[in-house]
Copies of this chain bind each other. A is one copy, B any other.
């Protein structure tokens, strides 16, 4: 039976995502430390990128959450701030050997609380189903393995990334702060009950949104952005987008429509940090999966 004795809660992989940073800072205070301890699971905390946190920027040199690929971690020629940071974190993880990892992020997109699972391990799926039940504002997003590559969560198969939004970089959202905190508590309670051989009742299905396509902004011949996300799409993460629905609006008001054959569900609509990556939004499809029996794990 799997036994999750050590959990690790990480904030500040991106230095301007304040909600997660200040949740970790809260739990690092002695008067709040007990909140993330359970009888059968110990939780430690980590602020991943103190250099970026100090300047309230996503990163110093480059995106830390793309630096955890195995070849990069062992490449001594990679010496920038975030590569050095990633190697130190990987060492710490080897030392602490957490069984479960929670990585706290925020997004400027209207994605409520989105779970990105570290793997499709049956325990992760069961936990996600437990968290989603009765909580319409919690969603599970599955990106491709190439996209997940290099992420911190790839270092620990049990666990997840929690994205909370919409929150502008460098700002707080108190409402989402406490919702994220409650979700962390529920995760720890779930693990704790499991460890005691008394697993909490878990729904037998889960809805997952699978990334199928990445859309850039429309561009001019010279590569300049030529259109914005359409006002009707703005903030409509996880809502149905039908063939023919508006996607973009040009600076001249011209509308670009979605021309795919099927209904899709856009997410990360206008995530600010994705602008430099040439990403305006993701398209996903929705599926319902059965939760495997985890009693024999």
Contact = CB atoms under 8 A, between A and B. Distances in A.
A252 B168 contact: no
A222 to B, nearest CB: 11
Counting contact residues on chain A (CB < 8 A from B), the size range is 35 or more
Contacts of A231: 174-175
A57 B272 CA distance: 11
Contacts of A175: 231, 234
A220 B159 CA distance: 32
A27 to B, nearest CB: 10
A173 interface: yes
Contact of A228 (B166, B174, B230): B174
Contacts of A108: 168, 170-171
B228 A177 contact: yes
Interface in A195-241: 224-225, 228-231, 234
Contacts of A270: 168, 171-172
Copies in the complex: 2
A69 B56 CA distance: 27
A6 to B, nearest CB: 24
A267 to B, nearest CB: 15
B172 A229 contact: yes
Contacts of A252: 26, 32
Contact of A234 (B174, B228, B275): B174
Contacts of A178: 253
A108 B173 CA distance: 12
Nearest to A32: B252
B169 A169 contact: yes
A249 interface: yes
A9 to B, nearest CB: 14
B249 A170 contact: no
Interface string A130-150: 000000000000000000000
Contacts of A249: 174
B22 A251 contact: yes
A251 B170 contact: no
A5 interface: no
Given A26-B251, A168-B270, 16 more contacts: A22-B225, A25-B251, A56-B275, A56-B276, A57-B57, A108-B170, A166-B168, A168-B169, A170-B273, A171-B272, A171-B275, A172-B270, A174-B229, A174-B234, A174-B249, A175-B231
Name the 4 nearest CB pairs between A and B, nearest first: A170-B272, A172-B228, A108-B168, A168-B168
Interface of A: 22-23, 25-26, 32, 56-57, 108, 166, 168-175, 177-178, 224-225, 228-231, 234, 249, 251-253, 270, 272-273, 275-276
16 contacts: A23-B251, A32-B251, A57-B57, A108-B168, A168-B169, A168-B270, A168-B272, A170-B275, A171-B270, A172-B229, A172-B270, A173-B234, A174-B228, A174-B234, A177-B228, A177-B251
